[in-house]
Protein backbone atom coordinates (compact mmCIF):
# COMPACT_ATOMS: atom_id res chain seq x y z
CA UNK A 1 0.00 0.00 0.00
CA UNK A 2 1.34 3.40 -0.88
CA UNK A 3 1.52 6.33 1.56
CA UNK A 4 -2.01 7.46 2.27
CA UNK A 5 -1.32 11.07 1.29
CA UNK A 6 -2.46 10.76 -2.32
CA UNK A 7 -5.77 9.39 -1.11
CA UNK A 8 -6.15 12.26 1.34
CA UNK A 9 -5.02 14.89 -1.12
CA UNK A 10 -8.40 15.33 -2.81
CA UNK A 11 -11.92 13.89 -2.32
CA UNK A 12 -11.70 12.24 -5.79
CA UNK A 13 -8.86 10.02 -4.60
CA UNK A 14 -10.50 9.46 -1.21
CA UNK A 15 -13.67 8.23 -2.88
CA UNK A 16 -11.65 6.11 -5.29
CA UNK A 17 -9.79 4.57 -2.36
CA UNK A 18 -13.08 3.82 -0.59
CA UNK A 19 -14.48 2.19 -3.73
CA UNK A 20 -11.40 0.01 -4.08
CA UNK A 21 -11.93 -1.40 -0.56
CA UNK A 22 -15.15 -3.01 -1.78
CA UNK A 23 -15.45 -5.95 -4.23
CA UNK A 24 -16.93 -4.75 -7.49
CA UNK A 25 -16.22 -7.23 -10.29
CA UNK A 26 -18.68 -7.08 -13.17
CA UNK A 27 -21.76 -9.10 -12.27
CA UNK A 28 -21.07 -9.03 -8.50
CA UNK A 29 -21.86 -5.46 -7.54
CA UNK A 30 -24.22 -5.86 -4.60
CA UNK A 31 -21.69 -4.69 -1.98
CA UNK A 32 -20.53 -1.62 -3.91
CA UNK A 33 -24.09 -0.76 -4.91
CA UNK A 34 -25.17 -0.89 -1.26
CA UNK A 35 -22.16 1.15 -0.18
CA UNK A 36 -22.82 3.87 -2.76
CA UNK A 37 -26.46 3.99 -1.67
CA UNK A 38 -25.40 4.36 1.96
CA UNK A 39 -22.88 7.11 1.13
CA UNK A 40 -25.49 9.06 -0.83
CA UNK A 41 -28.02 8.81 1.99
CA UNK A 42 -25.41 9.85 4.58
CA UNK A 43 -24.74 12.97 2.55
CA UNK A 44 -28.45 13.75 2.42
CA UNK A 45 -28.66 13.46 -1.37
CA UNK A 46 -31.82 11.94 -2.79
CA UNK A 47 -30.57 8.38 -3.37
CA UNK A 48 -32.30 5.61 -5.29
CA UNK A 49 -31.19 2.03 -5.95
CA UNK A 50 -32.93 -0.22 -8.46
CA UNK A 51 -33.24 -4.00 -8.78
CA UNK A 52 -30.18 -4.25 -11.02
CA UNK A 53 -28.11 -2.37 -8.44
CA UNK A 54 -27.90 0.87 -10.43
CA UNK A 55 -27.70 3.89 -8.13
CA UNK A 56 -28.84 7.44 -8.73
CA UNK A 57 -28.05 10.35 -6.41
CA UNK A 58 -29.53 13.78 -6.93
CA UNK A 59 -28.72 17.12 -5.44
CA UNK A 60 -31.32 19.84 -6.08
CA UNK A 61 -30.39 23.06 -7.85
CA UNK A 62 -28.95 25.89 -5.81
CA UNK A 63 -31.83 28.34 -5.22
CA UNK A 64 -31.96 30.63 -8.23
CA UNK A 65 -30.41 28.02 -10.57
CA UNK A 66 -33.50 25.86 -11.06
CA UNK A 67 -33.95 26.87 -14.69
CA UNK A 68 -30.40 26.00 -15.79
CA UNK A 69 -30.00 22.73 -17.74
CA UNK A 70 -30.21 19.76 -15.37
CA UNK A 71 -27.06 17.66 -15.50
CA UNK A 72 -26.42 13.95 -15.04
CA UNK A 73 -22.88 12.75 -14.43
CA UNK A 74 -22.54 9.06 -15.16
CA UNK A 75 -20.14 6.19 -14.67
CA UNK A 76 -20.18 2.46 -14.00
CA UNK A 77 -19.35 0.90 -10.63
CA UNK A 78 -18.12 -2.49 -11.92
CA UNK A 79 -14.54 -3.20 -12.91
CA UNK A 80 -12.78 -5.84 -14.99
CA UNK A 81 -11.11 -8.17 -12.46
CA UNK A 82 -7.82 -9.53 -13.78
CA UNK A 83 -4.78 -10.57 -11.75
CA UNK A 84 -1.28 -11.52 -12.81
CA UNK A 85 -0.02 -15.09 -12.91
CA UNK A 86 0.82 -16.25 -9.39
CA UNK A 87 -0.71 -13.17 -7.73
CA UNK A 88 -2.64 -14.07 -4.59
CA UNK A 89 -5.75 -11.99 -4.64
CA UNK A 90 -9.37 -12.84 -3.96
CA UNK A 91 -11.52 -10.37 -5.87
CA UNK A 92 -14.61 -11.37 -3.86
CA UNK A 93 -13.19 -9.95 -0.62
CA UNK A 94 -9.70 -8.42 -0.95
CA UNK A 95 -9.34 -4.65 -1.40
CA UNK A 96 -7.46 -3.52 -4.51
CA UNK A 97 -3.94 -2.67 -3.36
CA UNK A 98 -2.67 0.49 -5.03
CA UNK A 99 0.70 2.07 -5.61
CA UNK A 100 1.75 5.50 -6.78
CA UNK A 101 4.65 5.56 -9.20
CA UNK A 102 5.96 8.36 -11.42
CA UNK A 103 2.71 10.26 -11.22
CA UNK A 104 0.54 7.26 -11.96
CA UNK A 105 -1.65 5.08 -9.76
CA UNK A 106 -1.67 1.39 -10.48
CA UNK A 107 -2.84 -1.85 -8.91
CA UNK A 108 -0.42 -4.29 -7.31
CA UNK A 109 -0.68 -7.38 -9.50
CA UNK A 110 -4.28 -6.64 -10.44
CA UNK A 111 -6.34 -4.31 -12.56
CA UNK A 112 -6.70 -0.92 -10.87
CA UNK A 113 -10.39 -0.36 -11.51
CA UNK A 114 -9.89 3.26 -12.56
CA UNK A 115 -12.17 2.10 -15.39
CA UNK A 116 -14.55 3.23 -14.14
CA UNK A 117 -14.04 3.80 -10.41
CA UNK A 118 -12.41 7.14 -11.08
CA UNK A 119 -15.42 8.34 -13.09
CA UNK A 120 -17.71 7.49 -10.19
CA UNK A 121 -15.29 9.05 -7.69
CA UNK A 122 -15.27 12.29 -9.71
CA UNK A 123 -19.06 12.34 -9.69
CA UNK A 124 -19.18 11.84 -5.93
CA UNK A 125 -16.57 14.53 -5.33
CA UNK A 126 -18.51 16.92 -7.58
CA UNK A 127 -21.74 16.34 -5.62
CA UNK A 128 -19.72 17.24 -2.51
CA UNK A 129 -18.67 20.62 -3.91
CA UNK A 130 -20.19 23.75 -2.44
CA UNK A 131 -20.92 25.54 -5.67
CA UNK A 132 -23.80 27.16 -7.50
CA UNK A 133 -25.16 24.45 -9.76
CA UNK A 134 -28.30 23.32 -11.50
CA UNK A 135 -29.93 20.06 -10.45
CA UNK A 136 -27.00 17.64 -10.45
CA UNK A 137 -27.34 13.85 -10.49
CA UNK A 138 -24.90 11.00 -10.52
CA UNK A 139 -26.09 7.80 -12.19
CA UNK A 140 -23.87 4.81 -11.44
CA UNK A 141 -24.59 1.67 -13.44
CA UNK A 142 -23.74 -1.99 -12.88
CA UNK A 143 -22.26 -4.63 -15.17
CA UNK A 144 -21.12 -2.31 -17.95
CA UNK A 145 -18.12 -4.39 -18.93
CA UNK A 146 -20.00 -7.59 -19.70
CA UNK A 147 -22.82 -6.38 -21.86
CA UNK A 148 -24.09 -3.15 -20.29
CA UNK A 149 -26.61 -5.12 -18.26
CA UNK A 150 -27.16 -2.39 -15.69
CA UNK A 151 -28.19 0.18 -18.26
CA UNK A 152 -30.41 -2.34 -20.02
CA UNK A 153 -32.68 -2.46 -16.97
CA UNK A 154 -32.41 1.21 -16.07
CA UNK A 155 -35.66 3.12 -15.73
CA UNK A 156 -35.79 5.84 -18.41
CA UNK A 157 -37.16 8.16 -15.71
CA UNK A 158 -33.65 8.23 -14.23
CA UNK A 159 -32.51 10.03 -17.37
CA UNK A 160 -34.91 12.91 -16.98
CA UNK A 161 -32.40 15.73 -17.41
CA UNK A 162 -31.05 18.01 -20.13
CA UNK A 163 -27.40 17.01 -20.30
CA UNK A 164 -25.41 13.89 -19.53
CA UNK A 165 -21.67 13.73 -18.96
CA UNK A 166 -20.38 10.18 -19.16
CA UNK A 167 -17.03 9.91 -17.34
CA UNK A 168 -15.83 6.60 -18.78
CA UNK A 169 -13.39 7.69 -21.49
CA UNK A 170 -9.69 7.10 -21.16
CA UNK A 171 -7.85 9.93 -22.80
CA UNK A 172 -7.62 13.58 -21.95
CA UNK A 173 -7.75 15.91 -24.92
CA UNK A 174 -10.65 14.07 -26.52
CA UNK A 175 -14.37 14.40 -26.13
CA UNK A 176 -16.53 11.62 -27.44
CA UNK A 177 -19.77 12.70 -29.08
CA UNK A 178 -20.95 9.48 -30.71
CA UNK A 179 -20.39 5.75 -30.80
CA UNK A 180 -21.21 2.70 -32.87
CA UNK A 181 -24.06 0.33 -32.18
CA UNK A 182 -23.80 -3.39 -32.63
CA UNK A 183 -24.89 -6.90 -31.86
CA UNK A 184 -23.55 -10.40 -31.34
CA UNK A 185 -24.56 -13.11 -33.79
CA UNK A 186 -24.58 -16.73 -32.67
CA UNK A 187 -24.89 -19.42 -35.30
CA UNK A 188 -24.63 -23.17 -35.55
CA UNK A 189 -23.53 -25.00 -38.66
CA UNK A 190 -24.30 -28.71 -39.01
CA UNK A 191 -21.34 -31.11 -39.35
CA UNK A 192 -21.13 -34.83 -40.11
CA UNK A 193 -18.49 -37.22 -38.89
CA UNK A 194 -17.25 -40.66 -39.83
CA UNK A 195 -14.79 -43.09 -38.28
CA UNK A 196 -11.73 -43.83 -40.36
CA UNK A 197 -9.02 -46.35 -39.73
CA UNK A 198 -5.25 -46.05 -40.13
CA UNK A 199 -5.19 -42.33 -39.39
CA UNK A 200 -2.40 -40.20 -38.00
CA UNK A 201 -3.15 -37.01 -36.14
CA UNK A 202 -1.56 -33.58 -36.00
CA UNK A 203 -2.50 -30.89 -33.52
CA UNK A 204 -1.69 -27.48 -35.04
CA UNK A 205 -1.55 -24.32 -32.96
CA UNK A 206 -1.14 -20.77 -34.21
CA UNK A 207 -0.22 -18.29 -31.48
CA UNK A 208 1.23 -14.87 -30.84
CA UNK A 209 -1.05 -12.77 -33.00
CA UNK A 210 -1.93 -9.23 -31.90
CA UNK A 211 -5.64 -9.73 -31.33
CA UNK A 212 -7.18 -6.82 -29.47
CA UNK A 213 -10.55 -5.22 -28.90
CA UNK A 214 -12.99 -5.95 -31.69
CA UNK A 215 -14.07 -2.30 -31.88
CA UNK A 216 -11.11 -0.11 -31.00
CA UNK A 217 -8.49 -2.30 -32.68
CA UNK A 218 -10.34 -3.56 -35.73
CA UNK A 219 -8.68 -1.07 -38.08
CA UNK A 220 -5.16 -1.68 -36.76
CA UNK A 221 -5.53 -5.45 -36.65
CA UNK A 222 -6.88 -6.82 -39.92
CA UNK A 223 -5.77 -10.37 -39.18
CA UNK A 224 -7.73 -13.02 -37.36
CA UNK A 225 -6.16 -16.26 -36.11
CA UNK A 226 -9.28 -18.19 -37.03
CA UNK A 227 -9.00 -17.07 -40.66
CA UNK A 228 -5.25 -17.64 -40.75
CA UNK A 229 -5.75 -21.22 -39.57
CA UNK A 230 -8.52 -21.81 -42.11
CA UNK A 231 -6.37 -20.45 -44.92
CA UNK A 232 -3.51 -22.64 -43.81
CA UNK A 233 -5.64 -25.79 -43.77
CA UNK A 234 -7.29 -24.88 -47.05
CA UNK A 235 -3.91 -24.62 -48.74
CA UNK A 236 -2.85 -27.92 -47.24
CA UNK A 237 -6.10 -29.47 -48.44
CA UNK A 238 -5.28 -28.64 -52.05
CA UNK A 239 -2.68 -31.42 -52.18
CA UNK A 240 -3.77 -33.74 -49.40
CA UNK A 241 -6.95 -35.38 -48.24
CA UNK A 242 -7.03 -34.40 -44.62
CA UNK A 243 -9.93 -34.20 -42.21
CA UNK A 244 -10.62 -31.80 -39.40
CA UNK A 245 -11.28 -33.54 -36.10
CA UNK A 246 -11.56 -30.41 -34.00
CA UNK A 247 -11.25 -26.68 -34.67
CA UNK A 248 -11.20 -24.00 -32.02
CA UNK A 249 -10.45 -20.29 -32.19
CA UNK A 250 -11.64 -17.27 -30.21
CA UNK A 251 -12.76 -16.72 -26.64
CA UNK A 252 -14.96 -13.64 -26.42
CA UNK A 253 -17.37 -11.74 -28.65
CA UNK A 254 -15.39 -8.53 -28.30
CA UNK A 255 -11.86 -9.89 -28.71
CA UNK A 256 -10.19 -10.47 -32.07
CA UNK A 257 -8.98 -14.11 -32.02
CA UNK A 258 -5.20 -14.18 -31.54
CA UNK A 259 -4.82 -17.97 -31.34
CA UNK A 260 -6.28 -20.94 -33.19
CA UNK A 261 -6.04 -24.68 -32.81
CA UNK A 262 -6.91 -27.46 -35.21
CA UNK A 263 -6.68 -31.20 -34.81
CA UNK A 264 -6.45 -32.88 -38.19
CA UNK A 265 -6.23 -36.49 -39.28
CA UNK A 266 -4.94 -38.10 -42.48
CA UNK A 267 -3.91 -41.48 -43.85
CA UNK A 268 -0.81 -42.75 -42.04
CA UNK A 269 1.10 -43.25 -45.30
CA UNK A 270 0.79 -39.52 -46.11
CA UNK A 271 2.52 -38.59 -42.87
CA UNK A 272 5.89 -37.52 -44.25
CA UNK A 273 4.62 -35.53 -47.20
CA UNK A 274 1.97 -33.74 -45.08
CA UNK A 275 4.52 -32.71 -42.48
CA UNK A 276 6.81 -31.42 -45.19
CA UNK A 277 4.01 -29.36 -46.75
CA UNK A 278 2.91 -28.05 -43.36
CA UNK A 279 6.33 -26.44 -42.95
CA UNK A 280 6.47 -25.21 -46.54
CA UNK A 281 3.04 -23.59 -46.49
CA UNK A 282 3.63 -22.05 -43.08
CA UNK A 283 6.94 -20.52 -44.14
CA UNK A 284 5.21 -18.72 -47.01
CA UNK A 285 2.29 -17.57 -44.91
CA UNK A 286 4.46 -16.45 -42.02
CA UNK A 287 6.64 -14.41 -44.33
CA UNK A 288 3.59 -12.54 -45.52
CA UNK A 289 2.18 -12.00 -42.01
CA UNK A 290 5.33 -11.22 -40.02
CA UNK A 291 5.27 -7.50 -40.79
CA UNK A 292 1.90 -7.10 -39.13
CA UNK A 293 2.23 -10.01 -36.69
CA UNK A 294 5.81 -9.99 -35.40
CA UNK A 295 5.19 -12.72 -32.80
CA UNK A 296 3.11 -15.09 -34.90
CA UNK A 297 4.16 -18.72 -34.55
CA UNK A 298 2.94 -22.16 -35.48
CA UNK A 299 3.46 -25.29 -33.47
CA UNK A 300 2.60 -28.87 -34.36
CA UNK A 301 2.34 -31.96 -32.24
CA UNK A 302 1.37 -35.50 -33.12
CA UNK A 303 -1.63 -36.94 -31.34
CA UNK A 304 -3.47 -40.27 -31.38
CA UNK A 305 -6.78 -39.98 -33.19
CA UNK A 306 -9.62 -41.44 -31.09
CA UNK A 307 -12.55 -39.33 -32.26
CA UNK A 308 -14.46 -39.63 -35.50
CA UNK A 309 -13.30 -37.04 -38.00
CA UNK A 310 -15.46 -34.64 -39.98
CA UNK A 311 -16.44 -36.00 -43.36
CA UNK A 312 -14.56 -34.61 -46.36
CA UNK A 313 -17.61 -32.50 -47.17
CA UNK A 314 -17.94 -31.09 -43.63
CA UNK A 315 -14.20 -30.39 -43.50
CA UNK A 316 -14.47 -28.41 -46.71
CA UNK A 317 -17.63 -26.60 -45.75
CA UNK A 318 -16.28 -25.51 -42.39
CA UNK A 319 -13.17 -24.02 -44.01
CA UNK A 320 -15.24 -22.40 -46.73
CA UNK A 321 -17.55 -20.80 -44.20
CA UNK A 322 -14.63 -19.34 -42.26
CA UNK A 323 -13.16 -18.07 -45.54
CA UNK A 324 -16.39 -16.42 -46.63
CA UNK A 325 -17.42 -14.85 -43.32
CA UNK A 326 -16.32 -11.23 -43.25
CA UNK A 327 -13.79 -10.10 -40.70
CA UNK A 328 -12.44 -6.64 -40.03
CA UNK A 329 -13.47 -3.34 -41.55
CA UNK A 330 -16.59 -3.70 -43.64
CA UNK A 331 -16.80 -0.06 -44.67
CA UNK A 332 -14.93 3.13 -43.87
CA UNK A 333 -16.50 6.50 -43.25
CA UNK A 334 -16.37 9.14 -45.94
CA UNK A 335 -13.43 10.78 -44.15
CA UNK A 336 -11.39 7.70 -45.03
CA UNK A 337 -9.91 7.61 -41.53
CA UNK A 338 -12.60 6.11 -39.37
CA UNK A 339 -14.50 2.85 -39.45
CA UNK A 340 -18.18 2.96 -40.31
CA UNK A 341 -18.91 -0.75 -39.97
CA UNK A 342 -16.94 -3.81 -38.97
CA UNK A 343 -17.27 -7.44 -38.10
CA UNK A 344 -15.25 -9.58 -35.74
CA UNK A 345 -15.30 -13.29 -36.50
CA UNK A 346 -15.07 -13.96 -32.78
CA UNK A 347 -15.42 -17.70 -32.21
CA UNK A 348 -15.44 -20.91 -34.24
CA UNK A 349 -15.68 -24.05 -32.15
CA UNK A 350 -16.55 -27.52 -33.40
CA UNK A 351 -18.79 -29.79 -31.36
CA UNK A 352 -20.01 -33.33 -32.03
CA UNK A 353 -22.53 -32.57 -34.78
CA UNK A 354 -22.15 -28.87 -35.37
CA UNK A 355 -19.87 -25.88 -35.13
CA UNK A 356 -20.64 -22.86 -32.95
CA UNK A 357 -19.87 -19.62 -34.75
CA UNK A 358 -19.98 -16.21 -33.08
CA UNK A 359 -19.59 -12.85 -34.77
CA UNK A 360 -19.69 -9.34 -33.36
CA UNK A 361 -20.86 -6.58 -35.68
CA UNK A 362 -20.65 -2.83 -35.14
CA UNK A 363 -21.68 0.25 -37.03
CA UNK A 364 -22.65 3.87 -36.54
CA UNK A 365 -25.21 3.40 -39.28
CA UNK A 366 -28.17 1.09 -38.67
CA UNK A 367 -28.59 0.72 -42.42
CA UNK A 368 -25.04 -0.50 -43.06
CA UNK A 369 -25.29 -2.74 -40.00
CA UNK A 370 -28.37 -4.41 -41.47
CA UNK A 371 -26.54 -4.91 -44.78
CA UNK A 372 -23.56 -6.49 -43.02
CA UNK A 373 -25.78 -8.79 -40.97
CA UNK A 374 -27.49 -9.84 -44.19
CA UNK A 375 -24.15 -10.80 -45.73
CA UNK A 376 -23.25 -12.91 -42.71
CA UNK A 377 -26.68 -14.57 -42.64
CA UNK A 378 -26.36 -15.50 -46.30
CA UNK A 379 -22.92 -17.01 -45.76
CA UNK A 380 -24.14 -19.10 -42.84
CA UNK A 381 -27.27 -20.21 -44.68
CA UNK A 382 -25.21 -21.32 -47.66
CA UNK A 383 -23.74 -24.02 -45.46
CA UNK A 384 -27.01 -25.00 -43.82
CA UNK A 385 -26.31 -23.02 -40.67
CA UNK A 386 -28.72 -20.90 -38.69
CA UNK A 387 -28.81 -18.54 -35.76
CA UNK A 388 -29.61 -15.02 -34.75
CA UNK A 389 -28.40 -11.79 -33.21
CA UNK A 390 -28.64 -10.83 -29.57
CA UNK A 391 -27.18 -8.33 -27.10
CA UNK A 392 -27.94 -5.52 -29.53
CA UNK A 393 -27.03 -2.03 -28.45
CA UNK A 394 -27.95 1.08 -30.40
CA UNK A 395 -25.58 3.59 -31.92
CA UNK A 396 -25.20 7.02 -30.36
CA UNK A 397 -25.25 9.26 -33.37
CA UNK A 398 -22.95 12.25 -33.37
CA UNK A 399 -25.22 15.27 -32.89
CA UNK A 400 -24.77 18.09 -35.36
CA UNK A 401 -25.39 20.65 -32.63
CA UNK A 402 -24.43 20.00 -29.06
CA UNK A 403 -24.26 22.98 -26.66
CA UNK A 404 -22.69 20.69 -24.05
CA UNK A 405 -19.92 19.61 -26.43
CA UNK A 406 -19.30 23.21 -27.51
CA UNK A 407 -19.05 24.31 -23.87
CA UNK A 408 -16.62 21.55 -23.08
CA UNK A 409 -14.46 22.45 -26.09
CA UNK A 410 -14.44 26.08 -24.94
CA UNK A 411 -13.51 25.17 -21.36
CA UNK A 412 -10.80 22.84 -22.62
CA UNK A 413 -9.33 25.59 -24.78
CA UNK A 414 -9.35 28.06 -21.87
CA UNK A 415 -7.70 25.59 -19.52
CA UNK A 416 -5.05 24.20 -21.84
CA UNK A 417 -4.71 26.62 -24.74
CA UNK A 418 -5.29 23.66 -27.05
CA UNK A 419 -8.24 22.21 -28.94
CA UNK A 420 -9.78 18.96 -27.81
CA UNK A 421 -10.66 16.53 -30.56
CA UNK A 422 -14.23 15.32 -31.02
CA UNK A 423 -14.49 11.55 -31.43
CA UNK A 424 -17.17 9.32 -32.83
CA UNK A 425 -15.81 5.99 -31.67
CA UNK A 426 -16.13 2.51 -33.13
CA UNK A 427 -16.99 0.87 -29.82
CA UNK A 428 -20.07 0.67 -27.65
CA UNK A 429 -20.75 3.09 -24.83
CA UNK A 430 -23.62 3.19 -22.41
CA UNK A 431 -24.54 6.52 -24.06
CA UNK A 432 -26.08 4.61 -26.99
CA UNK A 433 -28.74 3.22 -24.67
CA UNK A 434 -29.19 6.55 -22.89
CA UNK A 435 -29.86 8.16 -26.27
CA UNK A 436 -32.51 5.55 -26.92
CA UNK A 437 -34.18 6.15 -23.52
CA UNK A 438 -34.08 9.95 -23.82
CA UNK A 439 -33.34 11.18 -27.36
CA UNK A 440 -33.36 14.80 -26.12
CA UNK A 441 -30.31 14.31 -23.88
CA UNK A 442 -27.29 16.38 -24.89
CA UNK A 443 -24.35 14.06 -24.11
CA UNK A 444 -20.57 13.85 -24.09
CA UNK A 445 -18.10 11.31 -22.78
CA UNK A 446 -14.83 12.40 -21.19
CA UNK A 447 -12.23 10.99 -18.82
CA UNK A 448 -8.66 11.26 -17.55
CA UNK A 449 -5.69 9.38 -19.00
CA UNK A 450 -5.97 5.68 -18.22
CA UNK A 451 -3.56 3.24 -19.84
CA UNK A 452 -3.85 -0.52 -20.13
CA UNK A 453 -7.48 -0.76 -19.01
CA UNK A 454 -8.72 -4.34 -18.53
CA UNK A 455 -5.15 -5.57 -17.91
CA UNK A 456 -2.86 -5.77 -14.90
CA UNK A 457 -0.89 -2.82 -16.31
CA UNK A 458 -3.89 -0.52 -15.96
CA UNK A 459 -2.75 2.83 -14.59
CA UNK A 460 -4.27 6.22 -13.96
CA UNK A 461 -2.54 9.55 -14.43
CA UNK A 462 -2.85 11.57 -11.24
CA UNK A 463 -2.29 14.94 -12.90
CA UNK A 464 -4.73 14.13 -15.68
CA UNK A 465 -7.33 13.15 -13.07
CA UNK A 466 -6.90 16.51 -11.37
CA UNK A 467 -7.09 18.51 -14.59
CA UNK A 468 -10.06 16.56 -15.96
CA UNK A 469 -11.87 17.16 -12.70
CA UNK A 470 -11.06 20.87 -12.81
CA UNK A 471 -12.48 21.06 -16.33
CA UNK A 472 -15.60 19.16 -15.28
CA UNK A 473 -16.12 21.60 -12.43
CA UNK A 474 -15.68 24.60 -14.68
CA UNK A 475 -18.03 23.04 -17.23
CA UNK A 476 -20.77 22.59 -14.63
CA UNK A 477 -20.27 26.13 -13.33
CA UNK A 478 -20.60 27.37 -16.91
CA UNK A 479 -23.79 25.38 -17.50
CA UNK A 480 -25.20 26.87 -14.29
CA UNK A 481 -25.05 30.29 -15.92
CA UNK A 482 -27.29 29.13 -18.80
CA UNK A 483 -30.45 30.35 -17.14
Residues at the interface with Zn ion (CB under 5 A):
115-116, 168
Judged by CB, which is closer to Zn ion: 115, or 293?
A: 115
| 144 is annotated as an active-site residue | yes
Shortest Cβ distance from residue 172 to Zn ion (Å)?
A: 16
Is-contact 293 197, C-beta < 8 A?
no
- CB neighbour burial string for 143-171, b if at least 16 within 10 angstroms, e if fewer: bbbebbbbbeebeeebbebbbbbbbbbbb
E strand or H helix at 139:
strand 136-141
Judged by CB, which is closer to Zn ion: 148, or 339?
A: 148
| 349 is annotated as an active-site residue | no
Q: H-type helices in 137-205, by residue range? A: 149-152
Judged by CB, which is closer to Zn ion: 182, or 387?
A: 182
Is-contact 112 106, C-beta < 8 A?
yes
388 in helix, strand or coil? strand
228 in helix, strand or coil? helix
Q: Which is catalytic among the residues 29, 78, 143, 442?
A: 78
Q: Which is catalytic among the residues 144, 343, 397, 458?
A: 144
Rounded Cα distance between 382 and 212, Å, is: 29
Rounded Cα distance between 126 and 465, Å, is: 13
Rounded Cα distance between 162 and 420, Å, is: 23
Judged by CB, which is closer to Zn ion: 162, or 168?
A: 168
SS (H, E, C) 287-348: HHHCCCCCCCEEEEEEECCCCCEECHHHHHHHHHHHHHCCCEEEEECCCCCCEEEEEEEEEE
Residues that are catalytic: 78, 144
Amino acid sequence: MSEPNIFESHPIFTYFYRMNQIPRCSGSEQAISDALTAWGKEKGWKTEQDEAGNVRMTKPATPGFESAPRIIMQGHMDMVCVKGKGVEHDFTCDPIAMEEKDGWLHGVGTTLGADDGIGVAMGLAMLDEEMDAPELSLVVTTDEEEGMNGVLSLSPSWLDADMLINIDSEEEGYVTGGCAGGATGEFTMPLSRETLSGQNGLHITITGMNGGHSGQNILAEPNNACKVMAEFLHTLLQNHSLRIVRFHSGEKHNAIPNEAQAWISFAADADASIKEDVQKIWTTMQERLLKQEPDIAMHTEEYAVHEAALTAESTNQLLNLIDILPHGVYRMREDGKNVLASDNLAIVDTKENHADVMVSVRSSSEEVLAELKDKIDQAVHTFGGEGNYGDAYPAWELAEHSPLRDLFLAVYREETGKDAEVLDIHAGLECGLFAQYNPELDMISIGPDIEGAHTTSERLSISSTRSTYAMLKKLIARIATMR
